[in-house]
Amino acid sequence: MHDAHDEMNPLLAAEARFDIAAEALHLDSGISKILRTPSREVTVYIPVEMDDGRIEVFTGYRVQHSIARGPAKGGIRYAPDVTLDEVRALASWMTWKCAVVNIPYGGAKGGIICDPGMLSQKELERITRRYTAEMIEVFGPELDVPAPDMGTNQQTMAWIMDTYSMHKRHTVTAVVTGKPLDLGGSRGRTEATGRGCLFVTQQALAKLGIPADKATVVVQGFGNVGGQGARLMSAAGMNVVSIVEWDGAVYNPQGLDIPALLEHRRRTGSILDFPGAENMATDEAMYLPVDVLVPAAKENVITSANAHKIRAKIICEGANGPTTAQADPILKQNGVFVIPDILANAGGVTVSYFEWVQNRQGYFWNEQMVNERLAEMMTASFHDVVTYADKHNVDNRTAAYMLAIDRVAFTIQLRGLYA
For ligand NAD, the binding residues (CB under 6 A) are: 193, 220-226, 244-246, 296-299, 318-320, 345, 348
Minimum distance of ligand NAD from residue 318's CB (angstroms)? 6
Quickly count: other Cβ atoms within 10 Å of residue 34's Cβ.
Answer: 15
| 104, HSE (Cβ side, Cα atoms, 13 Å) | 7
404: closest CA among 193, 101, 107?
101
Q: Residue 313 and residue 180: Cα distance in Å, rounded?
A: 38
- Residue 71 or 295 having the CB closest to ligand NAD: 295
Minimum distance of ligand NAD from residue 416's CB (angstroms)? 33
**Catalytic residue chosen out of the listed positions 73, 97, 109, 179:** 109
73: closest CA among 173, 177, 172, 154?
177
Minimum distance of ligand NAD from residue 190's CB (angstroms)? 8
Minimum distance of ligand NAD from residue 351's CB (angstroms)? 9
Residue 48, Cα to own-chain centre: how many angstroms? 30
Question: Is position 109 annotated as part of the catalytic site?
Answer: yes
- Residue 286 or 330 having the CB closest to ligand NAD: 286
Q: Residue 44 and residue 46: Cα distance in Å, rounded?
A: 6
> Cα angle at 56 between 54 and 62, to 5 degrees?
155
- Residue 86 or 130 having the CB closest to ligand NAD: 86
Q: Residue 278 and residue 281: Cα distance in Å, rounded?
A: 10
Minimum distance of ligand NAD from residue 348's CB (angstroms)? 3
- Residue 101 or 394 having the CB closest to ligand NAD: 101
Q: Residue 161 and residue 148: Cα distance in Å, rounded?
A: 12
- Residue 241 or 319 having the CB closest to ligand NAD: 319
- Residue 48 or 108 having the CB closest to ligand NAD: 108
Contact 193, 348 (CB under 8 A): yes
Q: Which residue is nearest to ligand NAD (CB)?
A: 223
Cβ density class 357-377: b for 16+ within 10 Å, e for less: bbbeeeeebeeeebbebbbeb
DSSP-derived secondary structure letter, 299: S
Minimum distance of ligand NAD from residue 165's CB (angstroms)? 24
DSSP-derived secondary structure letter, 175: G
Give the catalytic positions in this structure.
109
